Structure 1
């Protein structure tokens, strides 16, 4: 019985001895890589912003009142001097009529004082009145004339108040917002219409506090619209706020663009790109491309589908990239992701081959 139990085990051993071992599959590791390029472009940065008008007005009435007429809507193109809104002018007209009546009364009093002075001058010439009485009449005329001047100024001021019942555009432009409507009672100076001037446009961005000083002096500024990324518009920093925004801790910067730039509309999203040049070409790689082995810094170079470790000399930083001062040359392919999982001679498959970081990003 014991020999019969050993037969299946012996049979299994014979089968396993006859089975061939499977061929080993070569390990090919996927990586990301870039092709190195040398460029004179040094520091570069990019920030998102919004297209705004260089001149933006928040218009309001100079007198309080109730809005009775609204003549514009958001998006309306207006000309300088065009009426935008009107207040109920009744109270202002009554005040103007009151000031006019006060002026007429003062003029009547002055004319009477002038006639009295003339009569008393004739009486004085005949020595019927004293000089003191004549001086009193002259003083009365001067006081009456002063009252006329005051009443005239009051009438002119009230006339201006009456004209303030109409809100007019102070520049050519487009209405961007209307903050009040017919029937609403507004106070003097309360903004009711926002108007963007039709002149120059600019892009407003926020600069981080660690780069505001270096970016302020850059001359190579390019603006690209999100709607037209292939259109490069030259820009120029016009103004940088001296105070950081309390919420974002960034410094507001205004980048002016030419009036002739096509397809630029208010409110569009734009990218402002800064770039500086160096005296000698530089090779730059992302920080993720560096491999630290003991005390040496290296990169993985891809040649014939395999990688080899090449020591490099780091020359500094440029934005978020590392400048390589030696060890590599333009045209070589460098691994940028997965460097810690490789070994010399490792076969790799490049998932995405990107252009080297040089020039202004597209």
Structure 2
């Protein structure tokens, strides 16, 4: 403790001892507030994170070395626009090989069909000669077997041709995969590769870019406590601020309240999604938003500070006959509470029914309290005469 602070503490202690030993009865010191008439807004607060409505991870279907990158961070892209290319040499060679294999298979099919036609002709000739007893039955059987074998060779070669055709198609597709295009209109928010880097797509397509769809429309994903989630509904207005622009207020509307609970350390929350317009691109993905949901508004109502609703007279004050009968039972279920009005220096307990609260003030829907009435929020009790305490008693509020 500094010397200055120590001196102040000693002075405060001595003044308290003198007040306690002067033999006077002393009076309680009241701290008051005033009932007002005006507007009150019911709010629920939460924190959330800004994100794009749609985010797409762009990867590579094939492995290879990056030869060209056409975009960078924050680049705006269109659907189908080329954003990167892999070195195509290996894939071009594979395509040439597949094309040659296809042509060879097609030629072999042509040869097999010619052989089959010749075998069929020989079989028919052998049959005619066998009917004239000019060749043996064995020669006829051999000719027919040769024709059947030739037909089978044609079918087998057709299968090889289809296989070669499929290999050619795959080679063409893989060559096309070396040209990487944007799947959506949007903006590049992440680039994870550089020119010359080798991309390996053996087990899982690597993420080369992350593209967000139109950052002029974003969303805030918020976590709302289970005690407050019932106050929210789709279409409700929401306000929020971000640390980047602490003096600027942004607005949005609740689009969705998700039913899936999130439990962290026995605290249950629910996700509420807010649609936000971002025409100036001031908001960026990942920003933390301090959100206020406006679930109700009341105009021209009598409202009192919550401190007045929390106040309860201390027992010492009640023992002196001030403050009326203690009302410790707060029937919060139907909104009935007790406030203490200060009239002619005395406490007057008043039962009221409360309504909407904004966290600082609460609406009064029933009761004799009117705008301008003075209500007690705290009290300081004097020390008993002759006591060696610190003078004043503690502030008494009920929370």
TM above 0.5, yes or no, is: yes
Residue 320 of structure 1: how far off its partner (Å) = 4.3
Query: In the alignment, is residue 252 of structure 1 matched against residue 271 of structure 2?
Result: yes
Residue 36 of structure 1 corresponds to which residue in structure 2?
36
CA contact (8 A) 2:30 2:379 kept: no
List aligned pairs for 1:32-181, cutoff 5 A: 33=33, 36-37=36-37, 43-127=42-126, 130-181=143-194
Residue 193 of structure 1 corresponds to which residue in structure 2?
209
Q: Distance in 2 between matches of 1:62 and 1:52?
A: 27
Q: TM-score, normalised by structure 2?
A: 0.65
CA contact (8 A) 1:45 1:274 kept: yes
SS of the residue 1:244 aligns to: strand
Tell me the C-alpha RMSD between the 2 structures: 3.9
| 1:195-251 per-position Cα deviation (integer Å, ceiling 9, x unaligned) | 000174222222223333x15535322244544967663413235262416588643
Q: Distance in 2 between matches of 1:161 and 1:320?
A: 62
Pick from 279, 289, 292 the counterpart of residue 308 of structure 2: 289
SS of the residue 1:295 aligns to: coil
In the superposition, relative to structure 1, how do residues 278 and 123 fare at CA in structure 2: closer, same or farther (>3 Å)?
same
| 1:159-206 per-position Cα deviation (integer Å, ceiling 9, x unaligned) | 111111122100111111111222322332111211000174222222
In the superposition, relative to structure 1, how do residues 246 and 232 fare at CA in structure 2: closer, same or farther (>3 Å)?
closer
Q: Distance in 2 between matches of 1:124 and 1:116?
A: 12
Pick from 234, 238, 241 the counterpart of residue 256 of structure 2: 238
List aligned pairs for 1:195-274, cutoff 5 A: 195-198=211-214, 200-212=217-229, 214-226=230-242, 227=245, 233-238=251-256, 240=258, 242-244=260-262, 250-257=269-276, 265-267=283-285, 270-274=289-293
In the superposition, relative to structure 1, how do residues 326 and 95 fare at CA in structure 2: closer, same or farther (>3 Å)?
same
SS of the residue 1:242 aligns to: strand
Residue 341 of structure 1 corresponds to which residue in structure 2?
380
Residue 152 of structure 1: how far off its partner (Å) = 0.7
Q: Distance in 2 between matches of 1:280 and 1:32?
A: 24
Query: In the alignment, is residue 182 of structure 1 matched against residue 195 of structure 2?
Result: yes
Q: Distance in 2 between matches of 1:284 and 1:148?
A: 87
Q: Distance in 2 between matches of 1:333 and 1:148?
A: 97
Q: Distance in 1 between matches of 2:246 and 2:275?
A: 18
Q: Distance in 2 between matches of 1:68 and 1:156?
A: 24
SS of the residue 1:211 aligns to: helix
Pick from 269, 274, 295 the counterpart of residue 276 of structure 1: 295
Pick from 332, 341, 344 the counterpart of residue 372 of structure 2: 332
In the superposition, relative to structure 1, how do residues 333 and 201 fare at CA in structure 2: closer, same or farther (>3 Å)?
farther
In the superposition, relative to structure 1, how do residues 249 and 148 fare at CA in structure 2: closer, same or farther (>3 Å)?
farther
SS of the residue 1:106 aligns to: helix
Stretch deviating more after TM superposition (164-173 or 49-58): 49-58
Unaligned 5+ segments in structure 1 are 1-26, 344-362
Residue 9 of structure 1 corresponds to which residue in structure 2?
none
| 1:91-117 per-position Cα deviation (integer Å, ceiling 9, x unaligned) | 222322222222222212211111111
Residue 142 of structure 1: how far off its partner (Å) = 1.0
Residue 144 of structure 1: how far off its partner (Å) = 0.6
In the superposition, relative to structure 1, how do residues 74 and 271 fare at CA in structure 2: closer, same or farther (>3 Å)?
same
